Amino acid sequence: MKKLFLAGAAALALSLCASAQVKVLGDRIAVNTANNSLILSARSGSSLGFLHFGARLSDADIEALQFAGVRPLNAYPAYGQGEIREDAIAVTHPDGNMSLDLVVENVITDSSRDTDIACITLKDKVYDFRVKVYYKAFKDVDMIETWTEIVNDGKKPVVLRKFDSAFLPFHTGDVWVSHLYGTWANEGRLVEEPLQRGTLRIENKDGVRNSHTSHAEIMISLDGKPSENTGSVIGAALCYSGNYHLDIITNDTDYHRLFAGISPDNSTLTLDKGESFRTPELAITFSDEGLSGASRNFHRWARAHKIAHGDRERKILLNSWEGVYFNINEPGMDQMMGDIASMGGELFVMDDGWFGDKYPRLNDSSSLGDWVVDKNKLPNGVGGLVETARKHGISFGIWIEPEMANTVSELYEKHPDWIINAPGRDVVKGRGGSQVVLDLSNPAVQDYVFSIVDNLMTDYPGIDYIKWDANMSVSSHGSSYLPADRQSELNIRYHQGFAAVCDRIRAKYPDLTIQACASGGGRASYGVLPWFDEFWVSDNTDALQRIYMQWGTSYFFPSITMASHISAVPNHTVYRVTPLKFRIDVAMSGRLGMELQPKDMTPEEIAQCKQAIADYKSVRPVVQFGDIYRLVSPYDNLGVASMMYVGQDKSEAVFYWWRIDNMYDSHLPRVKMAGLDPDRNYRIVELDKAPGRPLSFEGRSFSGSFLMDVGLEMPGGFSRDLQGYASRVLHLIAE
Ligand code: DGJ
């Protein structure tokens, strides 16, 4: 760790190279990745200045910035002294003073195997109050994480009224923002809009599931209307599991100003003497290869540094929910396990309905909190099922919803004070008319939630996978644990408790696979993925609607995180009937699984799924670890959607083509591929081949440049069995 200058010292004139990633050049700080630079000016006794974030700059260019007309903006604006626009932080000092005047006190750099960090300590000119602003640059991926640590060094409590993770300005122009919006069964819908005067607020206040409604990730296209494979794009993702806001403010300055952090609404925090608060990271990236380029940066960073087991292939599974819902019983589980094993699957997950003693879980109106097996349904318990899975040669997984209870449960009878609810008010109940959220700000509740996983894993070490669900919001504000003057901290303390529990689980069970499910895709968030391997994209498994949802979700999250299952028709949510091939071809673009009752399938359908699973296995490394190139967006209404994954060494690729409308005489565009090596030849092998519809180019080779400049003509014709939903998946193999 290097401390580069101290309070009161004049700005250092010397040029000091701390490391390749973080450089201190006079009063300039360069936070670099291979292709990105974030440049600050840190003059002791002055406010921290933001100069640039975008393409990587040379030292000479950084030096020349001052002559390029670039004026520093306050990199972490504070309320109350000179800052008349928006602020990143606002506090009330013990004497009632509501202002801050933060200036640079010192700069510290640090280095680890994967990252370099710059920490700039800002101190109030009058009060013993500091904000440490961190910038962490990754050595192997284009990503910088930034966050703050807010420290009360004074003698009395300070109240934090706003405490953003970061401020990021970008110059006005024809600037567009892409972000995700949605709801249950329609998650991850892409919204693209030009930035106009005013404030664009992206926020979530669910309390628990923070990627329903809006997502905490955005793309900023700096060169006009967003384009997939060209143009300058900034991507930003707030890595937080709770309530947040991302505000982009466009007013009378030459900059759009992004403020991102925990939602301060109804959430003031008090820092006692000597206490500090760490804000969640905002991860930022820049790409000059369009939206897909920024996505590739997110995906590489996620796999290498941000998600659980980012380097581990995901298993192909059958989840029991849409197959049997609450109707769990031993012979049924045995049959489903046998069926998925016979199709080549590797894991079976028993969903909701397996637990409850005094109150058996027959539907969603009872039993959450009573994590004991229902012996009427499963006489041989969970152990018997683990053994059955072993017999079938597959792994076993189990569903829990540990942060929740039903008021109809033994847990609630014993600990009515463990739930979140405003004191003295009627209990607000959610799903099933009796669901409530447990108060994770309470350490006793944290111990209990940890014990749910710990007991299962101790009793049945053979459990390989946990589906961790969460189906309710914080709908009444109140904690029996927090003192009266700390009730405003509930939303934040809940997520600190959640993090503490997850840390304990991961410390003890590092190998366990855990899926984040939250009423479908309510936890597709980098705030939870450090502990979770993947998320359930949506309870809506309709293949057509999934194309739209998975398209948007892929902006920020890699395919290994996106659980994508083949389900039955008519679809259980939208009742659409699509061909099995179409459903398979969509599911194969994410982490493949199944969500149906195999015994209801015909022998032909079973054979088709068996073949598809074998095909998926043959390309799994490319799909799960390849680079994404989105080609034709479903949101462009061209009748087709198409994307591909290209292996890191470009020796293999998987190309997806889905027809998304069903209109006669609509003419589909020819799709040009991307990301291939122009100088290599690629042989085309179709996957999930439908009988009787060979492609003219099956087994033929084409140069990468032909495939990228000209493209293949995909037959999109109609037939009775395709019902308008033609689709193709191609494996490209370099020769
Ligand atoms: C909501 C989830 O999204 C579903 O996949 C399923 O696990 C149900 N909960 C079970 O109650």
Mind listing the pLDDT tens digit for each residue in 590-630? 999 999 999 999 999 999 999 999 999 999 999 999 999 99
Q: Between these two residues, 445 and 86, which has the higher pLDDT value? A: 445
Pairing of strands 534-536, 562-567: parallel
At residue 17 the predicted structure's pLDDT band, cuts being 50, 70 and 90, is very low
* Residue 327: pLDDT over 70: yes
As given in the structure block, the two tokens for residue 131 are 């904000």
Instruction: Work out the angle at residue 302's Cα, subtended by the Cα atoms of residues 300 and 305, and round it to the nearest 5 degrees.
Output: 100
520 C-alpha vs ligand 1 centroid, how far in Å? 7
> Rounded CA gap, 107 and 104, in Å?
8
At residue 11 the predicted structure's pLDDT band, cuts being 50, 70 and 90, is very low
φ and ψ at residue 676, rounded to 5 degrees: -80, 170
> Rounded CA gap, 436 and 422, in Å?
12
> What residue ranges line ligand 1, CB within 6 angstroms?
321, 351-352, 399, 469, 471, 517, 519-520, 536, 539
CATH number corresponding to 2-306: 2.70.98.60
384 C-alpha vs ligand 1 centroid, how far in Å? 23
pLDDT > 90: percent of the chain: 93
Residue nearest atom 1 in ligand 1 by C-alpha distance: 519
φ/ψ region of 115 (left if φ > 0, alpha if ψ in -120 to 50, else beta) reads beta
Whether 203 contacts 217, CB under 8 Å: no
* Residue 664: pLDDT over 90: no
Q: Given this model, what pLDDT does residue 66 score?
A: 83
Q: Which residues contact 470 (CB under 8 A, 6 or more apart)?
A: 208, 209, 401, 403, 404, 517, 518, 519, 522, 523
603 C-alpha vs ligand 1 centroid, how far in Å? 28
DSSP 642-695: EEEEE-TTSSEEEEEEEE----TT--PPPBP--SS-TTSEEEEEEESPPTT---
At residue 20 the predicted structure's pLDDT band, cuts being 50, 70 and 90, is low
* Residue 9: pLDDT over 60: no
- Pocket residue to mutate for ligand 1, from 321, 538, 596, most atoms within 8 A of Cβ: 321
The residue type found at 149 is: E
Q: Given this model, what pLDDT does residue 2 score?
A: 59
End-to-end Cα distance, the chain = 49
- Pocket residue to mutate for ligand 1, from 539, 549, 573, 595, most atoms within 8 A of Cβ: 539
Q: Given this model, what pLDDT does residue 85 score?
A: 78
Which residues on adjacent β-strands are paired with residue 404? 437
Q: Given this model, what pLDDT does residue 8 score?
A: 35
| Mean pLDDT value across residues 433-448 | 98
Q: Given this model, what pLDDT does residue 722 score?
A: 79
φ and ψ at residue 74, rounded to 5 degrees: -60, 120
- Catalytic residue annotation: 469, 539
As given in the structure block, the two tokens for residue 29 are 């700080």
Domain ranges of the chain: 2-306, 317-536, 629-734
Ligand 1 atom nearest to 517, measured from its CA: 3
Residue nearest atom 6 in ligand 1 by C-alpha distance: 321
Q: State pLDDT tens for residues 540-575.
A: 999 999 999 999 999 999 999 999 999 999 999 999
Residue nearest atom 10 in ligand 1 by C-alpha distance: 352
pLDDT > 70: percent of the chain: 97
* Residue 336: pLDDT over 70: yes
> At the topology level of CATH, where does 629-734 sit?
Immunoglobulin-like (2.60.40)
Q: State pLDDT tens for residues 118-169.
A: 999 999 999 999 999 999 999 999 999 999 999 999 999 999 999 999 999 9
Q: What H or E segment, with its residue span, contains residue 386?
A: helix 381-392
Mean pLDDT score of the chain: 95
Q: Given this model, what pLDDT does residue 15 score?
A: 34
Tokens 């996978």, residue? 465
| Mean pLDDT value across residues 506-516 | 98
Residue nearest atom 11 in ligand 1 by C-alpha distance: 352
Residue nearest atom 9 in ligand 1 by C-alpha distance: 519
**Is 430 exposed, middle or buried, given 0-12, 13-18 or 19+ CB atoms closer than 10 A?**
middle
> Rounded CA gap, 137 and 34, in Å?
10
CA neighbours closer than 13 Å in the CB half-sphere of residue 677: 15
Whether 236 contacts 168, CB under 8 Å: yes
As given in the structure block, the two tokens for residue 149 are 């640590």
Whether 150 contacts 279, CB under 8 Å: yes
**Is 425 exposed, middle or buried, given 0-12, 13-18 or 19+ CB atoms closer than 10 A?**
exposed
Whether 100 contacts 124, CB under 8 Å: yes
Q: State pLDDT tens for residues 66-109.
A: 899 998 999 999 999 987 778 999 999 999 999 999 999 999 99
Q: Positive or negative, the Cα torsion across 674, 676, 680, 685?
A: negative
> Rounded CA gap, 289 and 230, in Å?
5
| Mean pLDDT value across residues 291-309 | 98
| pTM assigned to the model | 0.97
- Pocket residue to mutate for ligand 1, from 186, 367, 471, most atoms within 8 A of Cβ: 471
* Residue 316: pLDDT over 80: yes
CATH number corresponding to 317-536: 3.20.20.70
| Mean pLDDT value across residues 320-348 | 98
Q: State pLDDT tens for residues 217-234.
A: 999 999 999 999 999 999
340 C-alpha vs ligand 1 centroid, how far in Å? 20
212 C-alpha vs ligand 1 centroid, how far in Å? 15
Q: Given this model, what pLDDT does residue 716 score?
A: 77
719 C-alpha vs ligand 1 centroid, how far in Å? 35
Ligand 1 atom nearest to 325, measured from its CA: 10
